[in-house]
Amino acid sequence: MNAVWWILTILGILFFPGIGFCISIALFDEWIDRKFYAALQDRIGPEHAGFKGILQPLADFLKLLSNEDIEPEAADKWGMRLTAIFGLAIPLVALLFIPIIDTTGLLSFEGDILLLAFLTTMIALIIYLAGWFSANRLAMPGTMRAASQLLSYEIPILLAMFAVALRTQSFSLAGIVDWQLDAHRPTLFSLPMVIFFLVFLLSSQAELERSPFDIPTAETEIVGGWEVEYSGKKLGFFRLSADLQMVFSAGLAVTLFLGGPTGVEMWIPSFADWLAGIEGVSGLAVVAILYYTTMFAIKTTIIVLILSTMRALMARLRIEQFLEFSWKWVIPVTLGVFVITFFYVPWTDQVIWSHWEGLFEVA
């Protein structure tokens, strides 16, 4: 823990791969999302700011910062301000734990999955509080919907996260990525994990409040729901927070199921050795960092594209339809598969995957 380590960590948190990089990739993913969503609808999408409108999300954010910030008299003003700040801060903190430039995150300890589980729940709680503080008749139904949606999607997300932890026998994201490197395959190709991956994507869509699960903010029904009273800077913070949450969910999915920032070295042991070798060398370490970052960006973008497709394909559900779907189908199925994972997977895994692992055995 010398001075250089401290400086590097602080610079990492502030710029790369911390706040600056995360916000950039969040805005980039919003642009990807908007462009792809527009293409699915036979539209053009953002077009003017920057190359093909790539700066449009940033322009929107800056415009919102300059807009008038109105606070209703009946509202809890400090509550509104604090929820907006925390709404931005919590996803940023959570993103520091995601491995982006290395197989370990910027911050990492044994058991950080538990912290991330807590942080995802905190995001939902912040949304609930944001609606509650704004004291609006249209925000109230949105808040109630957000709260009931929270209960329904949080359980499948946690089960999926813990299923991966159970499968890889590790409670840290770094350990999960290492397990995937050692096993020469992403967790996704481990038997029941496909189901958990789908459940995770579905629940992420619900957590991000995107169609068909944009029930708490349904604009045509309750005028934006919990965010109806937020304007100006606070709305800008919440919009940026939504983008960051999207990157966080996609990044978590990538880490848990798709091998994190690693790529082809999973199947080419010599390349993996070379990468591990150059990490110590100061000049060549940049190559490794760039490689890992590119892999992470590509995989995250693929997840974002899947989420966008889901957004374009369906009509919005009603809250009671969503709850029924969640409690009657998603949660029982997830629980059932979780139990199967617990008892049978280590056994079947040895039988089926031993052949696969033999292919890549390092001499």
Partner 1 sequence: MVDKKKIKVGSPQTGCSSCMPNTFEIPLGPQHPALKEPTHFLLEVEGEIIVNATPRIGYVHRGIEKLAETKTYSANLTLVERVCGICSHIHSISLANAAEGALALEGFEVPMRAQYIRTIVAELERIHSHILWLGVAAHEIGFDTLFMLSWRDRELTMDLLEDISGNRVNYAMNEIGGSRRDMNQSQIDRMLKYMDITIERMERYKDICLNENTIRMRTQEVGILLPQKARELCAVGPTARASGVAIDVRYDDPYSAYGEFRDIFNVVTYDSNDVFSLVVVRIIETIEACIYIKWMLKNIPDGPIFKKAPRKVPEAQILSRTEAPRGELIHYLWSNNTNKPYRLKITTPTLSNINTVSEMMKGDYLADSTITLASIDPCFSCEDRMITVVNNDRRKAKVETWSESQLRKYSNDWHTANKRWKK
Q: Which residues contact 127 (CB under 8 A, 6 or more apart)?
A: 87, 146, 150, 209, 216, 226
How is residue 275 written in tokens? 């990468």
How is residue 343 written in tokens? 């008892």
How is residue 116 written in tokens? 């991330």
Total number of residues binding partner 1 (CB under 8 A)?
Answer: 29
* 139 binds partner 1 per the rule CB under 8 A: no
Nearer to partner 1, 76 or 221 (CB): 221
Q: How far is the CB of 217 from partner 1 (least distance, A)?
A: 10
Closest CA to 108 of 123, 121, 97: 97
Nearer to partner 1, 213 or 292 (CB): 213
Q: Which residues contact 301 (CB under 8 A, 6 or more apart)?
A: 29, 32, 250
How is residue 55 written in tokens? 């700066």
Q: How far is the CB of 216 from partner 1 (least distance, A)?
A: 11
Binding mask 74-113 for partner 1 (x = CB under 8 A): ----------------------------------------
Q: How far is the CB of 141 from partner 1 (least distance, A)?
A: 6
For tokens 């020469």, name the residue: 184
Q: Choose which of 141, 175, 186, 251 interacts with partner 1 (CB under 8 A).
A: 141
What CA–CA distance (Å, rounded) separates 322 from 79?
29
Q: How far is the CB of 313 from partner 1 (least distance, A)?
A: 7
Q: How far is the CB of 138 from partner 1 (least distance, A)?
A: 7
Residues 298-357 that bind partner 1 (CB under 8 A): 312-321
DSSP state string for 25-39:
HHHHHHHHHHHHHHH
Longest dimension (CA), the chain: 71
Nearer to partner 1, 172 or 205 (CB): 205
What CA–CA distance (Å, rounded) separates 35 from 296?
20
Q: How far is the CB of 221 from partner 1 (least distance, A)?
A: 5
DSSP state string for 259-326:
-TT--GGGT-HHHHHHHHHHTSSTTTHHHHHHHHHHHHHHHHHHHHHHHHHHHHH-PPPPHHHHHHHI
Nearer to partner 1, 97 or 132 (CB): 132
Binding mask 195-234 for partner 1 (x = CB under 8 A): ----------------xx-xx--xxxxxxx----------
Q: Choose which of 13, 117, 125, 138 interacts with partner 1 (CB under 8 A).
A: 138
Q: Within a 10 A sphere around the Cβ of 30, how many other Cβ atoms?
A: 24
Nearer to partner 1, 37 or 338 (CB): 37
Nearer to partner 1, 138 or 198 (CB): 138
Residues 36-55 that bind partner 1 (CB under 8 A): 40-43
Cα 222 to chain centroid distance, Å, stands at 26
Residues that bind partner 1 (CB under 8 A): 40-43, 137-138, 141, 144, 211-212, 214-215, 218-224, 312-321
